[in-house]
Amino acid sequence: MNTARLAAQPLADGGTAVQEWVESPLSLPELDMRGCAGLVVVGAHPDDETLGFGAAMAMLAETGTEVQIVSASDGGAAFPEASRARRNQLEQQRRAELCRAAVVLGVRSPIGLGLPDGEIAQHEGRLADLLTDLLAARPAGTWCAATWRGDGHPDHEAVGRAAAVAASRTGAVLVEYPVWMWHWARPGDPAVPWSTASAVAASATALRRKTAAAECFRSQFVPPAPGVAPVLPEYVLSRLLAVGEVVFR
């Protein structure tokens, strides 16, 4: 839906400034999570779930709600020019990072589906089937949180579409969280369904857990070698922590 918008905003350009978001007059209702009997959080790559919905996961886990992370891919294509051996090494590293982040957030060990990073749309039907099986085994009232279908990244959008299919098949409550929207959109942007948006009222403890969990993903935020830029610039995490968590329903 919004892949052209993201492609037109290179990471090096910084995207929409965090000040523009935090100073926006946009006011969203609070997300009511009291009816959540269990939560399955689906990301396209290890770190999506933490960056987009980590505080909500931490708060639900504190109440004893079962929270299960599902990563569609292992994120091996973060460096497109890397050799097969380096890609395998990166996948192992990112799986380990996700496991550490899950511990910090206080949730169950993550499930990795092993779909090819950068090509999830080509396996969307299989992803929908896998998510259907996972959700069907959960109790009534389970929520499925997935990357938003309009987030701009092709993998994120494919995950959102597959999760929507799985939720419709099983009766799970679907919520979609943006990650890259904060980079290419602006407050009040007509490409964003603000009328269906709710904000997570994160506690201070949950925010600390989210920040610590995000720091587990060193492969993304730390330069891999001297003079080499990290996959994600520092401002990406700073902006996501500042704007908080929003979902579309």
Where do runs of H (alpha helix) occur along 118-186?
124-136, 154-170, 181-184
Q: Tens digit of pLDDT for each residue in 166-225?
A: 999 999 999 999 999 999 999 999 999 999 999 999 999 999 999 999 999 999 999 888
- Whether residue 81 is predicted with pLDDT greater than 90 in this model: the reply is no
Rounded to whole angstroms, the Cα distance separating 129 from 17 reads 38
The whole model's pTM is what?
0.96
Query: How sure is the predictor about 12, in pLDDT bands with cuts at 50, 70 and 90?
Result: confident
Q: Is 27 left (phi over 0), alpha (psi -120 to 50) or beta?
A: beta
Query: How far is C-alpha 63 from the chain's CA centre?
Result: 21
Mean pLDDT of 240-248: 97
Mean per-residue pLDDT for 68-80? 92
Contact predicate 200/56, CB 8 Å: yes
What is the residue whose two structure tokens read 């990112």? 94
Strand ranges inside the chain, DSSP E: 38-43, 67-73, 111-115, 142-147, 173-177, 197-199, 246-248
pLDDT of residue 244: 97
Give the tokens for residue 245: 């968590």
pLDDT at 84: 84
Q: Is 40 strand, coil or helix?
A: strand
- 234-243 and 204-214 are packed helices; what angle lies between their axes, rounded to 10 degrees? 160
Give residue 224's pLDDT. 82
Confidence check: pLDDT of 90 > 80: yes
Report whether 170 contacts 177 (CB < 8 A). Answer: no
What is the CB neighbour count within 10 angstroms for residue 46? 31
Please say if the pLDDT value at position 153 is more than 90. yes
- Residue 12's alpha-carbon distances to 183, 220, 234, in angstroms, are 11, 15, 11
Region 59-73: mean pLDDT is: 98
The percentage of the chain sitting over the pLDDT mark of 90, rounded to a whole number, equals: 91
Domains of the chain: 3-13+37-248 (3.40.50.10320)
Q: How confident is the prediction for the chain on average, in pLDDT? A: 96
CA dihedral 180, 126, 248, 194 (to 10 degrees): 60
Give percent of the chain above pLDDT 70.
Answer: 100
- Residue 80 is predicted with a pLDDT of 76
What distance in Å separates the CA atoms of residue 1 and residue 22, rounded to the nearest whole number?
Answer: 25
Q: What is the pLDDT of residue 168?
A: 98
Q: What is the mean pLDDT of residues 112-130?
A: 98
